[in-house]
Structure 1
Amino acid sequence: MDQLELSTRTRLADIGRARTRFGDHMPALVDTVLLRRKAASKLPGSDQWLFTDDAMQQATPGVVAAHRAQRLIGRDVHDVTCSIGAELHALTGVAHRVIGSDIDSVRLAMAQRNVPSAALLRADALRPTTRDTVVLADPARRSGGRRTHDPAALMPPLPDLIEAYSGRDLAVKCAPGLDFDNLGWDGEVEVVSLDGGVKEACLWSTGLAESGVTRRASVLRSDGSGWAITDAEDDVIPEQAPGEWIIDPDGAVVRAGLVRHYAARHGLWQLDPRIAYLTGDSVPEGVRGFRILEQIKYSEKLLKQTLSKRDCGVAEILVRGVDVDPAVLRPRLKLKGSLALSVVIVRIGRSASAFICEASR
């Protein structure tokens, strides 16, 4: 089966050959091969795994799971929502002992095939079945087929999960959009991004959190590089006019509420105290910046005139704090020039400004 191309061009012929050879097993085999190919970049080392489509999509990316596992080196870890075993795989060889459980018997059987070195059992995540282990959980984020940000609507419900393991070392993967300030969590909240996209938040109980840290942003790359920032760092920054550049911090920094801390680390300041865009006279390494060419008071008419004078034919439009839809605004500008520019529309004080910029990359 692995030798079949299974592309749009060859799909019918390939399925015909597979049906001749494998009979009634053909649909399951084709699905497995296609899922393994989809999972290759997300879950390195899973080329012989078994999946369901939902389980593969819900699985933690390998880079993120490996990052989390580094905080659990040498511990006994029990993943109480182990599904097909993505977190178990990352923990193998790092944790002292790896235990997985799930209420879904099909996914549990897949986890046994995917991570044979883990000890597995079928159990409800809300019923503790181990002692002296770090408990790892990943509640399902969908309710009624739709993604939810309500902690009580997760499966299992987040408040119930926290209560079930009260006093235990607990790490809970959850959506980055949860309202952590009203959750009553007294440990650490870590927001994680991968290759520029915010992937998740992880709640670390007090026993697993770094002393003095309640918020952390971890910025990861698929090549294994990355960095982190926490609320234990300085957040004192100046208030002054825009510098040479505008910088849009990584989404993990914004979601974790660490924009000022990031600014202080890199000698930047905010365009406005309520807006996440930063400004300064240099761009941090590895970050995209926008070199300011001109600042104008925002109006659609003035922006159109300004871009026309600058021979702009293509405009990237970024907006914060202003009720402007870039997809609606862009065609109304009717740009006909030869240059590509960036426009940052942002509220500063009580008025909206537009910055005409050149992007660094």
Structure 2
Amino acid sequence: MEHAELDALLTPQAMALLDELDPVETTNDVARVVSRLRAAGHGPDLVSAVVGQSRLRHRATAKFGEFAGRMLFTKAGLEQATRMSVSAHHAGRFARAGLTSVADLGCGIGGDSLAFAALGLRVLSVDADDVTAALAAYNLRPFGDAVEVRHGTAEETNVDDVDAVWLDPARRTTGHSETRRVSADDYSPNLDWTFALAARKPAGIKLGPAHDRDALPEGCEAQWISVDGSTVELVVWSGALAREGVGRAALVIRGDAAHEITAPEDTADEPVRELGSFIHEPEGSVIRARLIGDVARALEAGPVAEQIAYLTGDADRRSPFATTFRVREVLPADPKPLAKALKERGIGTLEIKKRGVDIDPAEFRKKLKLSGKAKATLFVTRIGGRRTAILADRME
């Protein structure tokens, strides 16, 4: 979003048009609405701004629910924003720690600041990009004086007057639309500065879930978070925001339910087991936090092979930290005989999961030439040094 588009958007006329539009979801919707608005005499900047925002609001519903219809976005800002369900958990931690004010350094479009303010915290929201800061100010306007939005960098912001800080270092190149990831050495603010601030001020630091574990600061809590099956982030907590005795945590959110497993450090794995009646697929946050061993013990299971994060056992057990499948049989892993076996079983819908093998599930599925009305899950993995295909059914 350029400044001309922002200026066109932040007008009563643009806001009225935006509220009147039906959801703009497809390319055909865009063409239809643009033609109608231009024919009505609206200028190109105004039309571009309004139609673009309508489309972004539709996409934002997945992260912000009903709040999306009252917010403004950039494409990059929406992609990088924290889901509201996750932000609520972050804000709750600040509140439970007895903190009353927070500086959101690198606030983006204001998603986390919204959650902080909703719980009654006084918020200082700062972003280095002026357009993004303007959108954050719009999104946070319902909270009045409880939120102050500034255009500036994290490094130049005085945080002496707040109880804690929330940092979301930029992990992508600057821009409002197409951006690319950068290495950890190029984060902004840089991680040396970020971790130094966290050492002297209670802090939550949002990082990518694949961040190098060896580069995490000592004495902090590392919490990995999964939402509806996707591992979305790692948060490093320090000071009063870090829980005593917790070094590793995996938070699993599915719909409105949330479950967490914690430990002082990485937990020991269970021994490898022969394939049993069930396969359990641990949540990504559990795998990243290296808490698979605790989940395995609760399920009376063990890994199918060394360095393979599938668990197996004969006990019909469930866990919020893993998805369970009932094993049908082991089939040939080669596509040609496997395709024949699946055809004989009438399987036309196949979910393919893989670990420890170099296959592209989409390309592998094409080779199977599936047909039929039955459905199943296929695990392709390496057991005993051999590629193995396991047919299974997802347990509800």
TM-score, scaled to structure 2: 0.81
Q: Note if 1:275 corresponds to 2:297.
A: no
Unaligned runs of 5+ in 2: 1-16
Question: Do the aligned partners of residues 345 and 52 (structure 1) sit closer, same or farther apart at CA in structure 2, a change above 3 Å counting?
Answer: closer
SS of the residue corresponding to residue 294 of structure 2 reads: helix
Contact 2:295 2:319 in 1 (8 A): no
Q: What does residue 171 of structure 1 align with?
A: 204
Contact 2:199 2:239 in 1 (8 A): no
Contact 2:336 2:367 in 1 (8 A): no
Contact 1:219 1:252 in 2 (8 A): yes
Q: Deviations over 1:10-43 (max 9, x none)?
A: 5445334434364453322222233223223311
For residues 268-347 of structure 1, what are the structure 2 equivalents within 5 Å? 268-280=301-313, 281-284=315-318, 288-295=323-330, 298-300=333-335, 303-304=338-339, 306-307=341-342, 310-334=345-369, 339-347=374-382
- Looking at structure 1, the residues matched to 388 and 35 of structure 2 have their Cα atoms a distance apart, in angstroms, of 61
SS of the residue corresponding to residue 196 of structure 2 reads: helix
For residues 142-161 of structure 1, what are the structure 2 equivalents within 5 Å? 142-143=172-173, 145-148=179-182, 150-161=183-194
Contact 1:235 1:264 in 2 (8 A): no
Q: What does residue 168 of structure 2 align with?
A: 138
SS of the residue corresponding to residue 246 of structure 2 reads: coil
The code of the aligned residue for 2:225 comes to: V
Please state how far the C-alpha of 1:304 moved relative to its aligned partner. 4.7
- Looking at structure 2, the residues matched to 13 and 314 of structure 1 have their Cα atoms a distance apart, in angstroms, of 36
Please state how far the C-alpha of 1:215 moved relative to its aligned partner. 1.4
Q: Note if 1:102 corresponds to 2:109.
A: no
Please state how far the C-alpha of 1:146 moved relative to its aligned partner. 2.0
- Looking at structure 2, the residues matched to 303 and 40 of structure 1 have their Cα atoms a distance apart, in angstroms, of 40
2:156 to 106, 116, 127: 127
The code of the aligned residue for 1:4 comes to: L
- The Cα RMSD (Å) is 2.8
The code of the aligned residue for 1:347 comes to: R
Q: Note if 1:39 corresponds to 2:60.
A: yes
Of 232-241 and 14-23, the range deviating more from structure 2: 232-241
2:70 to 23, 48, 64: 48
Question: Do the aligned partners of residues 275 and 18 (structure 1) sit closer, same or farther apart at CA in structure 2, a change above 3 Å counting?
Answer: same
Of 10-19 and 252-261, the range deviating more from structure 2: 10-19
Of 341-350 and 326-335, the range deviating more from structure 2: 326-335
Q: Deviations over 1:47-82 (max 9, x none)?
A: 222222221222111111111111000412110111
Unaligned runs of 5+ in 1: none
SS of the residue corresponding to residue 287 of structure 2 reads: helix
SS of the residue corresponding to residue 352 of structure 2 reads: strand
Give the length in aligned residue pairs.
Answer: 359
Percent identical among aligned pairs is 32
- Looking at structure 2, the residues matched to 298 and 30 of structure 1 have their Cα atoms a distance apart, in angstroms, of 49
